[in-house]
Structure 1
Amino acid sequence: MNAPLAPAFVNGDVSFWYRSIGVPVPTEPLAGDVQADVAIVGAGYTGLWTAYYLKKLDPALRVVVLEKEFAGFGASGRNGGWLAGLLPGSAARYAKHHGRDTALRFQREMFAAVDEVIRVAHTEGIDADLVKGGLFNVARTPAQAARLRAEVVAQRSWGWTPEDVDLLSTREMTARINVEGALAASWSPHCARIQPALLARGLARAVRVLGVELHERTPVTEIARGRAVTPGGTVSADLVLRCTEGFTAAVPGHHRDWLPMNSSMIVTEPLDSWDEIGWSGSELLGDMAHYYMYAQRTADDRIAFGGRGRPYLYGSRLDDRGHTHDWTVDALWRLLTSFFPAVKGARVEHAWSGVLGVPRDWCATVGLDRSTGLGWAGGYTGHGVTATNLAGRTLADLALGRDTDLTTLPWVGRRVRRWEPEPLRWLGVHAMYRLYRLADAREATGTPRTSVLARIADMITGH
C-alpha cells in the first residue's frame, strides 16, 4: 500500500463511523415463535424509519424488526453522510409511466425529506452531527464542466428553481472550498452532513422507546406469506416487509433482484491545513467524473472521501466486514490529494467498504402486495440516506392502508426485470466501470465532450 497510513490505521471493522462511538452490543436474538402485526426484515435506515412511522401512526401495532447483525450494520452505518435531496433514480424514467407532474412532486418530496430527517433527529434527541450546509458538485475537466451545465439545465426542466440549484463561477467555488483544478461548480441547499452511525443508532433507540421489538443477531432464512423464519423462531405477521437493500441478493428468491454494488471510503487524520482548503460551511462535495467521488468535512475536522473501489463480486457475493483492497485505498488517496494538495502531509486513519442495492433500471422502488402481505423498499443506487426516510413513510402508509400523497408517488409498486445471470452480470458491471475509468482518463486530456466510452458504458448496464 502506497498511501501513508496512521499508526492506528484500521481497514474494515464495519466503518470509521463506529470507531468513534463503538460497535454496539446487539440486542437479544429472537428466541421462540411470536405473533406480530408487522414484521420488518432489516434494521438499516429503511427498516428503522418504517418501524418509527408505523408506531407513530398506530401505537397499538405490534412491530417486530429482525436484523442479522446489529441495527445500522450495513450501508446505513457506512455511507458518506450525505443527507441529500437527490432522486434515487431518473426523473425521466419515473415520469415515463406516471407523468411529469408526479415525477416533479417526487422531487419536491425528496427535498422536504431532508428537513424531515432533521426534524425527527431534533425531536428524538438524536445528535448525529447534522449540519445543513448544502452540496457542491465540482467539474475539473472541460467535459465535466459541460456535463455540469447540462445537468443544471436538466434539473431546471424538472422543476428545480434557482433557489434549488445554482451555477457558480470558479472564483465563487474556490472561495468556499479550494478544489485544485476546479473549472465550474454547482451548489444546492438541499443537503446536510450527518454522522451515519449516530443516526442509525439514534433511530434504533427511538423505535425501541416507541415499543418496537428489535431482535439483532437474528438472520432471516425465509420470507413468505405471513411469516419471517429465523433459526430462533418464526415471526407470524399479517405483513412482512423486506428492507434489506444491498443484502437483498442473499435473501432466498431475490438473488437477482438488486445488484449488490460496493463503494469504498477512506478518512484522514484530523487536519490542520484548513486555511488552505477552506470548507468552513460543512458543505458536502461531489464531482462530475464518471468514476465519481463524494466527500465531507467531518465534525472532528477530517476529510471522509469515497468512491468506487472493486464494484462487484462474482455471483453477487457480499464482503460484509467492510475490508477494502489496498489498491482502492491508494486510488482514493491519490484522488483526494489531487483535489486537495494540502492534505499530502496527513495520513489515512481508516478505510472501509459498504454495499448498496442497484435495480436493473437504476430506480428505487417501494411496494406492498396486499394479496400476499409482502412489502419491500430499496434499490436506492447510493442515494438512500434521505430516500430511506421517504420510503419508510410511504411503506408505513401502504401498510396501514392510508391513501396519501406519498402512496401515489411514481416509485410505488414499480417493478423491473431482474439482473442477468452470471457471468453476464459480472462482465457487464466490470465492463461498465472499466469504460468509465477510461472515459475519465480521456477527458482529463482536455477534450470538451463526454467520451463515447462513457455512453457505451451507460448502454451496457442501463445506467
Structure 2
Amino acid sequence: MSGQGPISYWLSTADLTPRAALPGSTDADVVVIGAGFTGLWTAYYLAAADPGLRIVVLEAQVAGYGASGRNGGWCSALFPASPAAVARKHGVARASALVAAMRDTIDEIGRVATAEGVDCDYAKGGTVVLARSAVQEARGRAVVDAEAPFGTGLAWLAAPEASALCNATRVRGGTYTPHCAAIHPGKLVRGLADAVERLGVTIREQTRVLRLQPGRVETEAGSVRAEVIVRATEGYTAGLPGHRRLLVPLYSLMAVTEPLPASFWAHAGLARRETFSDFRRMIIYGQRTADDRLAFGGRGAPYHYGSQVAPAFGQDTRVHTAIDRTLVDLFPALGPRPPVTHRWGGPLGVPRDWTASVGLDRSTGLAWGGGYVGDGVATANLAGRTLADLISGRDSARARLPWVGHRWPQWEPEPLRWLAINAGLRLAEFADAREARTGRVFRPAAVLGHLTGE
C-alpha cells in the first residue's frame, strides 16, 4: 500500500497485510472487480447460495482500501435519490418498496455480522438531523412532509427532544429516524473479507485491473476469464478504460478525535450512538464511536480535472480546517482546537443523475453496482444480494426494485464537467454562508436540488 497517503482511523485498527496477488491467468465462473462492500457482499451471497461457484475477487490495493474503509460509519437506510424523485419515475408503490428494502438492510447487516462473528461496533441508535436556524428548520419540516407517503419513519422533533439526542449549539428542532446503525466500517469490511474467504472465494489483492470486456478481465499479472464480470469500483470507476464519464470521483474528508471524557458525553448526548448531521446544504456527518471518539466528516473538497484520483486529494487543508471549525461550532466544549488524532479522505462515486444502480447485462455478462454518492454502507449490501439474485437467475422482489437495471447518463466532457461540478460545490458553500448571515433562503441555490436527486 505504498503511496496511499494517510489511512483512515478505521483502517489503522486493522491488519492490512496484503493477500497474495493474482499469480497468473486463470478461469472462474464469476470475477468481481473491487474488494469493497459491493464486491464482497456480492461474493458472500453468491458463495453462500452456491458453494460450487468459482468466484475470484480482484483488488488493486487491499480489501476495504476505498470508500468502504474510509466512510463515516453510517449504516443507514438513505438512498441517494429521494423517495419523491424515485416516485416521479416509478410511482409511489415502487419507491416505497425501495424504502422498505433499505430499512430491512440495516438489520440484515447486523444479522450477518453476528452470524459471522464480525464485531463491527454495530449500534442501531438511528439518525438525528438538527435544524440550527430558521432556514434549516423550514427545510427539515419540508423533508418530513415529503417523505410521509413512503414509510421512511422520519419524524420531526421539537428543540428539547432533538437536543436530548444531540446537544449541539443553536438547536431549534430536528428530524429523527431509527433506521441507521453506527458501525466501525474498517472492522466490518475486513471481517467480511475473512468471511468471504471462509466460503471458498478467492480474493486477490495488490492486483490492478487494466481493462474489462465481456468474458475477460485483464490485470497486470494476467487475465481472468469468466462468464460473469461484476464491476464494483465506485469512486475508482473512472480509471477503467471506457468508463471515464460514468461516475465522477468526489472527495469526502474526515477527522476523528481522541477518546473524549464522560463529562463531554454527559453534555453532548449521543447516548445510543446516534449518527448526526444538520440541514445545511454542504453535507456534514458524524458519530460517536464505540471507544468514545467523535468521528466527523464533510464534503467540499474540489473535483479534480479529468476525474483524477490521488492520495494527496484526501488531505485538503481548507476542508480539514472547515471540519475543525464546524466541530467546535457544534460542540464548543471541545475547545478552540478539537483534539484530532486522524485525518483522511477518499473518493465516492457520483452518477450524473444522482441515482444508485445495480444490474446485469445478460447479453454481455457484465454486471455492476454503485453510484451511492456516499450512502453506500447499507446500499452496497442490498446491491450484493440483488446481484446474487440476478447472476443466479433467482426471481425475487429485490430483482424488481426500481434501481435495478438503471442506466446512468454520461457526465459532460471536460472542461464542462470540471466547471459545473466545482461551481455547484462553491454555490452550496456560498448558500450556507448567506443563509446563516441573513436568516433567509438563498433561492438561487434551489438549482442544487435538481442536481442531487431531491
If the length of structure 2 is used for normalisation, what is the TM-score?
0.96
User: Retained in 2: the 8 A contact 1:356–1:381?
Assistant: yes
Query: Cα gap change, 1:461/1:151 in structure 2, threshold over 3 Å: closer, same or farther?
Result: closer
User: Retained in 2: the 8 A contact 1:314–1:426?
Assistant: yes
User: Retained in 2: the 8 A contact 1:87–1:383?
Assistant: yes
User: Retained in 1: the 8 A contact 2:253–2:319?
Assistant: yes
Matched with 1:98 is 90
Matched, 1:68 2:68: no
Matched, 1:357 2:366: no
Residue from 272, 286, 294 that aligns with 1:295 = 286
Matched with 1:44 is 36
Matched with 1:234 is 223
Residue from 271, 275, 285 that aligns with 1:284 = 275
Q: Which amino acid aligns with 2:210?
A: T
Matched with 2:210 is 221
Residue from 386, 389, 412 that aligns with 1:394 = 386
- Supply the distance in 1 between the matched residues of 2:285 and 2:365 (Cα, whole angstroms): 38
- Supply the distance in 2 between the matched residues of 1:139 and 1:261 (Cα, whole angstroms): 26
Q: CA RMSD in A?
A: 1.5
User: Retained in 2: the 8 A contact 1:126–1:202?
Assistant: yes
1:156 is displaced (CA, Å) by: 0.5
Residue from 9, 12, 22 that aligns with 1:16 = 9
Matched, 1:274 2:265: yes
User: Retained in 2: the 8 A contact 1:429–1:461?
Assistant: no
Residue from 169, 173, 185 that aligns with 1:180 = 169
Instruction: Write out per-residue CA displacement over residues 102-135 of structure 1, whole angstroms, 9 at most, x where no aligned residue.
Output: 1110100000000000000000000011111110
Matched with 2:123 is 131
Q: Which amino acid aligns with 1:68?
A: A
- Matched residue of 1:411: which SS? coil
Residue from 329, 340, 351 that aligns with 2:320 = 329
User: Retained in 1: the 8 A contact 2:67–2:235?
Assistant: yes
Q: Which amino acid aligns with 1:329?
A: H
1:233 is displaced (CA, Å) by: 1.3
Matched with 2:446 is 455
Matched with 1:419 is 411
- Matched residue of 1:18: which SS? helix
Query: Cα gap change, 1:460/1:176 in structure 2, threshold over 3 Å: closer, same or farther?
Result: closer
Alignment of 1:300-315 (within 5 A): 300-315=291-306
Moved more, 439-448 or 243-252: 439-448
1:91 is displaced (CA, Å) by: 2.2
Instruction: Write out per-residue CA displacement over residues 286-306 of structure 1, whole angstroms, 9 at most, x where no aligned residue.
Output: 111001210001111110110
1:408 is displaced (CA, Å) by: 0.5
- Supply the distance in 2 between the matched residues of 1:230 and 1:416 (Cα, whole angstroms): 26
- Matched residue of 1:252: which SS? coil
Matched with 1:4 is none
Instruction: Write out per-residue CA displacement over residues 130-152 of structure 1, whole angstroms, 9 at most, x where no aligned residue.
Output: 11111000011111100100001
1:458 is displaced (CA, Å) by: 3.9
Residue from 143, 161, 176 that aligns with 2:135 = 143
Query: How many residues were matched structurally?
Result: 448
- Matched residue of 1:13: which SS? coil
User: Retained in 1: the 8 A contact 2:357–2:371?
Assistant: yes
Q: Which amino acid aligns with 2:9?
A: F
Residue from 361, 369, 377 that aligns with 2:369 = 377
- Supply the distance in 2 between the matched residues of 1:151 and 1:93 (Cα, whole angstroms): 12
Query: Where in structure 2 are there 5+ consecutive unaligned residues?
Result: none
- Supply the distance in 2 between the matched residues of 1:127 and 1:172 (Cα, whole angstroms): 31
Q: Which amino acid aligns with 2:243?
A: H
Instruction: Write out per-residue CA displacement over residues 424-453 of structure 1, whole angstroms, 9 at most, x where no aligned residue.
Output: 1111111111111111111112524x3113
Matched with 1:159 is 151
1:169 is displaced (CA, Å) by: 1.0
- Supply the distance in 2 between the matched residues of 1:119 and 1:221 (Cα, whole angstroms): 36
1:247 is displaced (CA, Å) by: 0.5
Query: Cα gap change, 1:176/1:458 in structure 2, threshold over 3 Å: closer, same or farther?
Result: closer
Q: Which amino acid aligns with 1:139?
A: A
Query: Cα gap change, 1:135/1:55 in structure 2, threshold over 3 Å: closer, same or farther?
Result: same
1:461 is displaced (CA, Å) by: 7.0
Matched, 1:194 2:194: no
- Supply the distance in 2 between the matched residues of 1:292 and 1:351 (Cα, whole angstroms): 17
Instruction: Write out per-residue CA displacement over residues 388-436 of structure 1, whole angstroms, 9 at most, x where no aligned residue.
Output: 0000000110001111101100111101310001111111111111111
- Supply the distance in 2 between the matched residues of 1:93 and 1:297 (Cα, whole angstroms): 31
Instruction: Write out per-residue CA displacement over residues 187-228 of structure 1, whole angstroms, 9 at most, x where no aligned residue.
Output: 111000100110000000000000000000000111101011
User: Retained in 2: the 8 A contact 1:143–1:446?
Assistant: no
Instruction: Write out per-residue CA displacement over residues 320-362 of structure 1, whole angstroms, 9 at most, x where no aligned residue.
Output: 4664122221110000100000111642111100111111110
User: Retained in 1: the 8 A contact 2:80–2:453?
Assistant: no
If the length of structure 1 is used for normalisation, what is the TM-score?
0.94
- Supply the distance in 1 between the matched residues of 2:450 and 2:83 (Cα, whole angstroms): 18
Query: Cα gap change, 1:122/1:145 in structure 2, threshold over 3 Å: closer, same or farther?
Result: same
Residue from 325, 332, 343 that aligns with 2:334 = 343
1:271 is displaced (CA, Å) by: 1.2
Query: Cα gap change, 1:247/1:392 in structure 2, threshold over 3 Å: closer, same or farther?
Result: same
